[in-house]
Amino acid sequence: MPKFQCFRCLHCCFFSSEDECPVVLPREKRRLEELAEAEGVELTFRKVGNEGLYRWVIKGYCPFYDVRSRGCRIYEERPLACRMFPLLLNPKTGEVSVSRACDWVVANFGEIMSGDPKEVFPEELNAALTVFKELRKQ
Ligand code: SF4
Ligand code: SF4
């Protein structure tokens, strides 16, 4: 059974539609705004659903993506949505799905579908569970 291993293909740090953009918790929104302010960058968020979540609206590359090194400049502080990708959380239904926009998912799709998600995406599922736990506390 394959375990998820990022190809660093950059697809998940480039956004061509709002629906693909990360959904973040209020505390993550505040931290992202602080990080952005320190760099003189303006971020846009839209409230989604009734759970107190925000859609971080990004057009093109994430402002924290370093194109040259193909890495996240705020890796240690990246939001849970980035930590759980290629898992996606639907803020309206609470459903977790697997993104077909991820190159690794496309390359391993057959095996993923027949596998145990806890084995394939252990860290990513943990990040998704943290979102649910934090939402329950709000
Ligand atoms: S915060 Fe980091 S991991 Fe998340 S989209 Fe931006 S560059 Fe990518
Ligand atoms: S799309 Fe998938 S393989 Fe590509 S950088 Fe994102 S998580 Fe990694």
CA of 72 to the centre of ligand 1 (A): 5
Q: How far is the CA of 77 from the centre of ligand 1 (A)?
A: 9
Question: What average pLDDT does the segment 109-129 reach?
Answer: 92
Residue type, 22: P
User: Which of 4, 12, 61 should be mutated for ligand 2, with most atoms under 8 A from CB?
Assistant: 12
Q: 56-88 pLDDT, tens per residue?
A: 999 999 999 999 998 999 999 999 999 999 999
Please report the pLDDT score of residue 89 as a whole number: 83
Structure tokens at 104: 């690794």
Q: Say which residues have a Cβ less than 8 Å from residue 116's Cβ, sequence separation at least 6.
A: 1
DSSP 29: H
Q: How far is the CA of 133 from the centre of ligand 1 (A)?
A: 22
Please work out whether the CB of residue 87 comes within 6 Å of at least one atom of ligand 1.
no
Atom of ligand 1 nearest to the CA of 81: 4
At 54, the pLDDT band (50, 70, 90 cuts) reads very high
Q: Which residue CA neighbors atom 2 of ligand 2 most closely?
A: 102
Question: Ligand 1 atom 4: the closest Cα is on which residue?
Answer: 82
pTM across the whole model? 0.92
pLDDT of residue 75: 95
Mean pLDDT of 86-95: 83
Give the span between the Cα atoms of 21 and 81, in whole angstroms. Answer: 9
Which ligand 2 atom sits closest to the C-alpha of 13?
6
Residue nearest to atom 5 of ligand 1 (CA): 13
Alpha-helical segments (H) within 1-138: 26-38, 80-84, 103-114, 117-120, 122-137
Q: How many angstroms separate the CA atoms of 61 and 50, rounded?
A: 28
User: What one-character DSSP code corresponds to residue 77?
Assistant: G
Question: What's the mean pLDDT in 124-136?
Answer: 91
